[in-house]
């Protein structure tokens, strides 16, 4: 029998505020990550500081926020009221300290009782805060949450407001890198939700005049809209919606008190429900909910008194009440949509006709697919059970206490050897593997019917659980893991085409990635370097003191599981798949996957030359 561990007063200890945050950062900022995903912790740090500046704007103080990111240091300057000078240190370093406990000052606050700024402080190698008000300034500096400088209050002629600079601690955020695209998307959402606010990021100005209407125009091309965007505003609520001509599934953007609730919640559920109810009542027909919402592109923003979120990162609303004597969230949204959307449809008969045509089209397509869908589901179930096409992770197998999609990843691999290496080296708790058999079909220009008739697409759709949209997506990160050769690149392109054609919101919402794997291993008797480019290979050779042994990996199957664990673990390199706003999805697919054209030939030749030039450097 094993010796029982001692349990005395010496085993009991209390962590101070910064120790607890640094020991359990996930409780405060979600996953850590390296910056390749929009919900990685380094972006949550930025958001937590901006949220405080947004609260100042909402309270009528400061119409401009300046943000810069340089050499991994983030600086955020607002022109609000400034933190009361005698409380600057306390506000960023003492838990349960902040102005948001006073409901009169922050009735519909974005931030959550000042916890966010303290988390930023504790998780930064250097953190500096300056408050300017009443022609005076106060500065305090910290390292890993420890106060290192507490300057006296000084006279100041600068404009009032608060300035925060921080550098995320690289002992917590391993080899991180900020991607401007994610920061810009966050900034755009802030200005859409706060019309009249200007945010300047690295010298570039962002401003919105039309709120959620501008947001939808950012996400759907004008020539893909079935009818002009319906944009309706009321007290504490704003909605915008249209239907896409080409998109198959639903797309919802939801916000609470300016917070982007990427996982939805009670308000998004109520919005989806209210659209269906209003449309049914307007046409006097009991249309299927899925037919009404098919191809919809929409957004909702509400303001709630003291909202309750399901985590500190505030990605899903849990509140059922609006607060302040108002009805429930569900009733409030239903009443607004029922009255205002119904009025709009009565006044705009063309939009109403287009919506009804779209519903009837969706109904016909659903009925045509009904038999195929049933057979496809049964086939997918049998394949997953018997062919081991999907090697799932414990998050979804029920072996773990929490079912957290945010922690889960699905690797899509080619061939038995590659999938075998990843399967043996993966984290079985959170990483799953889907094995492709040969090259996928080029789905460009095909109907949704092909998704069910093609075994590979059907099984992939079933593995992701996206048949009825991405709301119940089983994996937060979908990673295409193919060889870095011509065939591997072609498979990547075919898979991206599949997602763009049938599930573009997966890409729009930042779920799709390419796994970067090393091209070379350079080693001697003492050191081993894995290199992702010719330049890295040359640098590695120079750094070795002994005679180098150079291995060129021709495919993922050549990398042993013992080595592969380095490339899909803490040091994983992911390249996010992003959409270019300058080209619509239809234009994008036509150019890359349609008939060969002189323009595409020229593009390939020009870019091949660039690749060759880089290889020769």
Mean pLDDT of 248-262: 88
Pairing of strands 512-516, 431-436: unpaired
Q: Within a 13 Å sphere around the CA of 546, how many CA atoms are in the beta-carbon half?
A: 10
Q: Which residue has the tokens 């957290």?
A: 404
Torsion of Cα atoms, 541 then 545 then 550 then 555, to 10°: -80
Q: Sort strands 146-150 and 136-143 into parallel, antiparallel or unpaired.
A: antiparallel
Asked if 503 contacts 496 with a C-beta cutoff of 8 angstroms, the reply is no
Residue 516, strand partner residues: 573
Q: How high is the pLDDT of residue 107?
A: 58
Confidence of residue 14 (pLDDT cuts 50, 70, 90): low
Looking at the predicted structure, is the pLDDT value of residue 111 above 60? no
Higher pLDDT, 568 or 147: 147
**pLDDT at residue 579, as a whole number:** 79
pTM of the model: 0.84
Q: What is the pLDDT of residue 488?
A: 85
Walk across the sheet containing 549-552 and list its strands: 528-531, 520-523, 549-552
Q: Is 49 left (phi over 0), alpha (psi -120 to 50) or beta?
A: alpha
Q: Is a pLDDT exceeding 70 seen at residue 246?
A: yes
CA 112 centroid distance within chain: 21
Q: 112 near 44, Cβ under 8 Å?
A: no
The pair phi, psi for residue 322, each rounded to 5°, is -75, -30
| Residue 338 DSSP code | H
Share of the chain above pLDDT 70, in %: 86
Number of Cβ within a 10 Å radius of residue 610:
9
Between residues 557 and 351, the one the model is more confident about? 351
What pLDDT is stored for residue 17 in this prediction? Answer: 74
CA 75 to chain CA centroid, nearest Å: 22
Q: What is the pLDDT of residues 457-481, one digit of tens each?
A: 988 998 898 887 787 888 989 999 9
Task: Categorize the per-residue pLDDT at 616 as very low, low, confident or very high, splitting at 50, 70 and 90.
Answer: very low
Q: 306 versus 462: which is more confidently predicted? A: 462
- Asked if the domains at 212-364 and 368-522+526-616 fall in one CATH topology, the answer is no
More confident residue, 106 or 340: 340
Q: How far apart are CA 176 and CA 72, in angstroms?
A: 9
Q: 17-207: what CATH class? A: alpha beta
Joined tokens for residue 452: 């069910």
Which residues, 6+ apart, have CB-to-CB distance to 206 below 8 Å?
Answer: 184, 187, 188, 191, 198, 199, 200
| Of the options 3.20.20.70, 3.90.226.10, 3.30.230.10, 1.10.3210.10, the CATH number for the domain spanning 212-364 | 3.30.230.10
Give the mean model confidence (pLDDT) for residues 224-252. 92
Q: Looking at domain 368-522+526-616, which of 2.60.120.620, 3.30.70.141, 3.40.190.10, 3.40.50.670 is its CATH number? A: 3.40.50.670
Contact status, residue 204 vs residue 66, Cβ threshold 8 Å: no
Q: How confident is the model at residue 512 (pLDDT cuts 50, 70, 90)?
A: very high
Sign for the CA dihedral angle at 173, 174, 178, 179 comes to: negative
pLDDT of residue 279: 97
CA pair distance 356, 344, nearest whole angstrom: 14
Pairing of the two strands 230-234 and 198-201:
unpaired
Listed in sequence order, the DSSP H helices in 467-597 are 486-502, 504-508, 534-543, 561-567, 585-593
- Per DSSP, 246 falls in state S
Q: What is the pLDDT of residues 314-358, one digit of tens each?
A: 778 887 888 777 789 999 999 999 999 999 999 999 999 999 999
150, 297, 508, 588, 613 from 578: Cα distances, Å: 43, 18, 7, 12, 25
Query: 83 and 131 in contact (C-beta within 8 Å)?
Result: yes
What kind and span of H or E run contains 125?
strand 124-133
Q: If you ran DSSP here, which 8-state letter would residue 415 be given?
A: S
Segment 44-85, tens digit of pLDDT: 999 999 999 998 998 888 999 999 999 899 999 999 999 999
pLDDT greater at residue 5 or residue 195:
195
Amino acid 74: pLDDT: 97
Q: 293 or 5: whose pLDDT is higher?
A: 293
**Among residues 520, 517, 515, which one has the least CA distance to residue 553?**
520
All structural domains of the chain with their residue ranges = 17-207, 212-364, 368-522+526-616
Which range among 22-36, 148-162, 179-193 shows the weakest confidence by mean pLDDT? 22-36
Name the burial class of residue 236, with classes exposed (0-12), middle (13-18) and buried (19+) by CB atoms within 10 angstroms of its CB: middle
> Which alpha helices (DSSP H) does 110-232 contain, by range?
115-122, 180-193, 212-219
pLDDT of 122 strictly over 50: yes
pLDDT-based confidence at residue 584 (cuts at 50, 70, 90): low
The pLDDT of residue 400 is 46
Q: How far apart are CA 457 and CA 511, in angstroms?
A: 18
Predicted confidence band of residue 421 (pLDDT cuts 50, 70, 90): confident
Q: Give the other-Cβ count within 10 Å of 2's Cβ.
A: 4
Cα separation of 10 and 6, whole Å? 9
Contact indicator for 542, 578 with CB cutoff of 8 Å: no
Give the largest CA-CA distance in the chain: 81
Is residue 415 over pLDDT 80?
no
Please say whether the beta carbons of 97 and 177 come within 8 A.
no
Q: What is the mean pLDDT of residues 305-321?
A: 77
Identify the band that residue 8 occupies on the pLDDT scale cut at 50, 70 and 90.
Answer: low
Question: Which residue's structure tokens are 């080409």?
Answer: 246
Helix or strand (DSSP H, E) at 233: strand 230-234
CB 452 within 8 A of CB 458: yes
* Residue 559 confidence class, pLDDT cut points 50, 70, 90: confident
- Asked whether the beta carbons of 72 and 178 are under 8 A apart, the reply is yes
Give residue 21's pLDDT band: very low, low, confident or very high (50, 70, 90). Answer: confident
pLDDT for 396-406, tens place per residue?
A: 765 444 446 66
Q: Rounded mean pLDDT of 437-442?
A: 86
Which pLDDT belongs to residue 1?
A: 47
Which of 101-110, 282-291, 459-468, 513-522 is least confident?
101-110
For residue 535, the SS3 value is helix
Q: Indicate whether 611 pLDDT > 50.
A: no
Mean pLDDT of the chain: 85
Provide mean pLDDT across the span 561-584.
Answer: 80
* Cβ-based neighbours of 594, under 8 Å, separated by 6 or more: 444, 445
- The pLDDT score that the predictor gives to residue 311 is 65
- For the stretch 95-108, what's the b/e string if a residue is b when 16 or more beta carbons lie within 10 angstroms of its beta carbon? eebbbbeeeeebbb
**Token digits of residue 285:** 């027909």
**Mean pLDDT to the nearest integer, 162-166:** 97
The CB density around residue 360, as the number of other CB atoms within 10 Å, is 13
**pLDDT computed for residue 249 by the predictor:** 83
With 90 as the cut, is the pLDDT of residue 267 above it?
A: yes
- Interatomic CA distance for residues 160 and 80, integer angstroms: 7
When mean pLDDT is compared across 135-139, 323-327, 485-489, the lowest value belongs to 323-327
């Amino acid at each position: 029998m094993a010796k029982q561990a001692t349990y005395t007063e010496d085993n009991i200890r209390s962590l101070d505020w910064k120790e607890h945050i640094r020991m359990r950062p996930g409780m405060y900022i979600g996953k850590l990550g390296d910056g390749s995903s929009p919900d990685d912790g380094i972006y949550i740090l930025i958001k937590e500081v901006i949220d405080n500046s947004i609260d100042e704007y909402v309270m009528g103080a400061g119409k401009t926020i300046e943000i810069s990111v340089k050499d991994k240091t983030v600086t955020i300057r607002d022109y609000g009221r400034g933190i009361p000078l005698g409380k600057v240190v306390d506000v960023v370093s003492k838990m349960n300290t902040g102005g948001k406990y006073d409901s009169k000052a922050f009735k519909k606050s974005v931030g959550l009782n000042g916890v966010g700024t303290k988390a930023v402080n504790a998780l930064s190698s250097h953190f500096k805060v300056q408050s300017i008000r009443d022609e005076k300034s106060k500065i305090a500096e910290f390292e890993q949450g420890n106060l290192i400088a507490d300057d006296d209050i000084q006279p100041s002629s600068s404009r009032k407001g608060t300035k925060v600079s921080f550098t995320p601690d690289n002992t917590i955020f391993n080899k991180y890198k900020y991607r401007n695209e994610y920061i810009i998307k966050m900034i755009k959402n802030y200005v859409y939700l706060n019309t009249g606010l200007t945010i300047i990021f690295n010298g570039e100005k962002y401003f919105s005049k039309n709120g959620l209407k501008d947001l939808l125009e950012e996400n759907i091309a004008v020539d893909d809209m079935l009818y002009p965007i319906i944009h309706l505003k009321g007290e504490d609520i704003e909605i915008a919606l249209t239907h896409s001509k080409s998109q198959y599934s639903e797309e919802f953007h939801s916000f609470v008190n300016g917070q982007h609730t990427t996982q939805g919640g009670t308000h998004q559920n109520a919005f989806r429900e209210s659209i269906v109810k209003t449309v049914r009542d307007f046409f006097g027909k009991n249309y299927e909910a899925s037919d009404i919402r098919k191809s919809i592109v929409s957004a909702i923003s509400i303001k709630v008194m003291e909202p309750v979120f399901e985590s500190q990162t505030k990605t899903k609303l849990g509140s059922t009440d609006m607060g302040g004597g108002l009805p429930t969230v569900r009733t409030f949204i239903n009443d607004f949509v029922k009255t205002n959307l119904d009025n709009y449809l009565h006044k705009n008969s063309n939009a109403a006709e287009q919506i009804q045509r779209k519903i009837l089209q969706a109904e016909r397509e659903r009925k045509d697919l009904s038999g195929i869908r049933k057979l496809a589901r049964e086939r997918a179930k049998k394949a997953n059970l018997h062919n081991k096409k999907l090697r799932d992770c414990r998050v979804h197998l029920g072996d773990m206490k929490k079912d957290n999609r945010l922690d889960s990843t699905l690797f899509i691999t080619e061939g038995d050897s590659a999938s075998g290496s990843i399967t043996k080296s993966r984290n079985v708790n959170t990483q799953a593997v889907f094995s492709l058999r040969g090259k996928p079909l080029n789905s460009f220009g095909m109907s949704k019917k092909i998704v069910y008739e093609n075994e590979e697409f059907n099984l992939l759709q079933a593995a992701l659980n996206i048949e009825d949209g991405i709301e119940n997506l089983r994996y937060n990160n979908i990673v295409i893991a193919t060889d870095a050769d011509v065939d591997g690149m072609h498979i990547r392109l075919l898979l991206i085409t599949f997602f763009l054609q049938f599930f573009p919101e997966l890409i729009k919402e930042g779920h799709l990635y390419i796994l970067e794997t090393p091209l070379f291993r350079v080693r001697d008797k003492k050191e081993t370097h894995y290199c992702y480019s010719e330049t890295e290979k040359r640098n590695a050779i120079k750094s070795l003191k002994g005679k180098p042994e150079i291995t060129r990996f021709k495919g993922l199957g050549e990398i042993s599981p013992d080595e592969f664990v380095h490339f899909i673990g803490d040091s994983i390199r992911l390249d996010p798949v992003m959409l270019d706003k300058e080209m619509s999805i239809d234009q994008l697919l036509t150019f890359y996957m349609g008939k060969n054209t002189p323009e595409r030939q020229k593009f390939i030749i020009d870019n091949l030359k660039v690749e060759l030039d880089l290889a020769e450097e």
